[in-house]
Amino acid sequence: MSLTFDACGGANGSLVDVALLDTLRRESIPATLFLNERWVRDNRQLTRVLASDPLFQIGNHGTRHVPLSVNGRAVDGVTGTTNAHEVVKEILHNQHTLVDLTGTQPQWFRSGTGYYDDVAIEIAAQLGFGLAGWTVDADSGATTTPHQIADAMVDAPDGAIVRLRMDHPFGGTGAGLKTAIPRLRERGAYFTHLPQPSFP
Ligand SMILES: [Zn+2]
């Protein structure tokens, strides 16, 4: 399975779950970290450190953390990008920041809310980005208990992309991860980065 961790930035998402990152390192679990530009600007040094660690694959989690749309469609109360130019900017502004700061070129993009309309999907593909959905939203945005999070991870199907948050140190995600790892290992699970994106 692939564990993916979102760092969403903004008022409710600019912190760092240091204990969670330590767990991944101690257990040598490769993970994909989707970093939003607002989070990156608040955590520049850490962004460099994470990107230089081969355990971590860096993904692009958007510039303003909004749904990717060409007509401003709102999802979960968040207004989306309103035209193609804004779609491109939502992807590339953060991309340039990540490249400048870390020298790594993320190949995967995940929008805030995970919404994309058909045109936005086309634009992202033309820019060469894979769009990273998920199979299991294991911590519901860091709102559930460690026990629920661990169960969601352990119940994930083979090959699952599991979404979690890495910006809620006071939530249950870190503890849930810690509980899930031995249970997953017992079941023979192993962890991989997302593969190279491919386009039809
Ligand atoms: Zn997010």
The 3-state DSSP composition of the chain as helix, strand, coil percent (nearest 5) reads: 40, 15, 45
- Around ion ligand 1, residues with a beta carbon closer than 5 Å are 6, 8, 112
Q: What is the pLDDT of residues 77-109, one digit of tens each?
A: 999 999 999 999 999 999 999 999 999 999 999
As beta bridge partners, residue 4 has 32, 163
- The answer to whether residue 192 sits within a structural domain is no
Residue 194 lies in a domain: no
Euclidean distance between CA atoms 50 and 136, whole angstroms: 24
Inside any domain, residue 153: yes
Looking at the 3D structure of the chain, how many domains does it have? Answer: 1
pTM reported for the whole predicted model: 0.97
Does residue 191 fall inside a structural domain? Answer: no
Question: Which of 161, 163, 88, 169 shows the shortest CA–CA distance to 129?
Answer: 88
Q: The domain containing residue 34 runs over which residues?
A: 2-186
Spacing, Cα 11 to ligand 1 middle (Å): 12
Residue 87: give its domain's CATH number. 3.20.20.370
Residue 198, domain member (yes or no): no
Q: Is residue 147 part of a domain?
A: yes
Spatial contact of 161 and 199, defined as CB atoms under 8 Å apart: no
pLDDT in tens, 157-183: 999 999 999 999 999 999 999 999 999
Given a cut of 90, whether residue 199 has pLDDT beyond it is no
In-domain check, residue 23: yes
In a domain, 195, yes or no: no
CA 186 to centroid of ligand 1, rounded, Å: 30
Q: Which tokens hold the place of 108? A: 């995967």
Predicted local confidence at residue 34, as pLDDT = 98
Give residue 200's pLDDT. Answer: 72
Q: Taking Cα atoms as reference points, which of 199, 17, 192 lies closest to residue 107?
A: 199
